[in-house]
Chain A
Amino acid sequence: MQQRRELDQVYTNRKLLNGQLDTPKWWAPTVTILGIVVVLGLIVIAVMINKGLGMTGLARPVYWGLFITTFVFWVGISHAGIMISAILRLTQAEWRRPVTRAAELLTVFSLLTALVFPLIHAGRPWRIAYWIMPYDLARGIYPNIRSPLNMDPVAISTYLTGSTLFLYIALLPDLGNLRDRTTGWKNAMYTVLALGWRGNPRQWKMQTVGGILLSALMLPIFVSVHSIVSWDFAVASAVEGWHSTIFAPYFVIGAVHSGVSAVVTMMALMRWLWKWDDFIRPEHFDALARLLIVVSTGWLGFTFLELIFALYGQDAPEIALREMQMFQWPWNGLFILFFLTAYAIPVPMWLFKRVRTNIALMFWTSILVNIGMWLERFLIIVPGLARRTPFVYTWEAYRPSAVEWTIFIWSFAWVTFLMLLFSKFFPLVPLFEQKESQVFTTDVMIGRAKVPAIIREAD
């Protein structure tokens, strides 16, 4: 249970607005370095678009490689935000409060990044205009809505729009706060963004009711997005290892596993970098780790089912694929690494409270999970295509090129860069949620024991 701590509002403002009101020393150099990496990555992308996809390792029969894996990876990370923010809002979990903003932010930026990958993977990204308005009507065709490749952009843009709006609505009270703390052009900016927020009961009521309503609407979208991404693969009955009915929930729960872990990583960094020890506390990591134990064990169950039912049909090609995936070098090495990092190392560690409340350990284990979950996507996507089948005479395994790896690294720098840029102007921990928890929690005496308690509105 959350230990109550008295924190007055002036202190809360000063501490949580330290990114905006007085920028930490490390900020400028870090952003500069990341900016350089981002620019370099963009140059590599530009060169690749100019020269063509021949610069990648993609070749017959492996047409989907690192880019698509990384796309699925970032879509997965994006599932942190709404999972944490919406589910915990709906269940009124008190420990959500410092976590929500960071989680929503991660959703928005990782989705933005995810979108880049199919775009550049298409080779000629300007032709994406065709998806919006078919310019080439002479051929008498229109984007085929029966194709999951068409459903993807629809789902992702819905999710991106929805979560950006959600983020903004929840930011309103804090924008009002920033407006009150700043002067000059910043004040003018926050005044416009805050839309004239004053904090009267009507506005607060809309924050709570609207927040819950939006959560309820965003949850089904969140589930649909990764399901649709999974159908990119699952509806293709010709590729072994893809045509499985479990893919949709399997991808969603895997996404939650990786997304919540990414939130843990981010929370640890926030606590260390902005010195928010009073707000992001060990008990929050404890709660997140407990959630992760449940989610990851559920995910393991789905992994098991996926595997069992792949073998269930006893079709020779499917069995050959699984054999390759698990027992042939280099896939077996990756498979072992995947299992160790995604489950076998972190989850048993989380069973101990000492680990759950140790922030450094939580940081490293959460990174392990994401290494594992990236590998999981790689092992789903590539081996199914790479297996030697009749009438395919390119027998060389897929090897991602330096260009692909550079763009892969760029994506991490890009998300971090956007995050830090955001932190310069907007608080990463919702101040009003923090203050609300001060109002809504208290201690009660039951006998001689002091027990933390929550005030629930009579709804």
Chain B
Amino acid sequence: MSTQSILGLFQQPESAADAMDGLKEAGFELGTFDVLTGTPYPEGAFGEYVPQHRLFRFPAFGAIIGFTLSIFLTSVTQLAYPMVTGGKPILSIFAMLIIMYEMTMLAGVIATVIGIVFESRLPNMKPGIYDTRITEGWIGVVVTFDDDSKVADAESVLNKAGALEIKHAK
């Protein structure tokens, strides 16, 4: 058993949506076929499977780490090397807050960026079957199988929907 995928290329979004419908009807499981576009379309435009994501947890997680580190940095350094300046207390909460705020936000942003990359399932240096015309407005419908017997089924669905070209890849 080997993983194999085929890619059908369409010029019209309608045809690509037909292909997606066809694949669903032909009994392909959600998640084994996907649509590739050069531009975002409104969600659900192809009746595609939109996976849930957990992006919103990342900034919260990052912010907690950043906040903790910032408390450490601002308080421990000042306690370790106490020197009164400007008549302010050693632990000046209102000055510390500013640094704590920046560090919290920084960690939050970094975690979000990691989250975006992770939730996009990147980096993916072996992205699989692809066609450069997708970034020129063509729409690709990619089907992945473990089972070679279904290749012909998928191909016929794609052809019926009006695929202009079909590519294969192991």
Contacts and interface: CB of A to CB of B under 8 A. Distances in A.
Chains A and B share a contact (CB less than 8 Å): yes
B109 interface: yes
Interface stretch (A42-50, A174-182, A257-265): A174-182
B92 interface: yes
Given A161-B106, A196-B124, A209 B38 contact: no
Contact of A203 (B106, B109, B120): B120
Interface string A165-180: 1101100100011001
A438 B39 contact: yes
A198 B36 contact: yes
Interface in A198-232: 198-210, 213-214, 217-218, 220-221, 224, 228
A143 B85 CA distance: 11
B59 A217 contact: yes
B53 A181 contact: no
Nearest to B139: A199
Interface in B98-144: 98-99, 101-103, 105-106, 108-110, 112-113, 115-117, 119-128, 130, 132, 134-137
Interface string A344-364: 000000000000000000000
A224 B39 contact: no
A395 interface: no
B38 A177 contact: yes
A165 B115 contact: no
Given A145-B74, A181-B132, A457-B43, A217 B108 contact: yes
A252 to B, nearest CB: 15
B133 to A, nearest CB: 8
A155 to B, nearest CB: 5
A100 interface: no
A283 B127 CA distance: 39
B122 A145 contact: no
Q: A134, A168, A201, A202: which has the most chain B beta carbons within 10 Å?
A: A201
Contacts of A199: 36-39, 134-135
A169 B43 CA distance: 20
12 contacts: A13-B135, A146-B95, A161-B110, A177-B38, A177-B135, A181-B132, A196-B126, A198-B36, A202-B121, A206-B119, A213-B59, A455-B42
Given A137-B81, A155-B98, A197-B127, 20 more contacts: A9-B135, A10-B137, A141-B81, A141-B83, A142-B81, A158-B109, A165-B113, A180-B135, A197-B122, A201-B34, A201-B46, A202-B53, A204-B37, A204-B41, A206-B120, A217-B59, A217-B112, A221-B105, A221-B106, A224-B102
B96 interface: yes
A198 B127 contact: yes
Interface of A: 8-10, 13, 134, 137, 140-147, 150-151, 154-155, 157-158, 161-162, 165-166, 168-169, 172, 176-177, 180-181, 195-210, 213-214, 217-218, 220-221, 224, 228, 432, 435-436, 438-440, 455, 457
B40 A200 contact: no
B48 to A, nearest CB: 5
Given A9-B137, A201-B48, A205-B50, A158 B38 contact: no
A203 B53 contact: no
Contacts of B86: 146
Nearest to A137: B81
A218 B102 CA distance: 11
B64 interface: no
Contacts of B99: 145, 150-151, 154
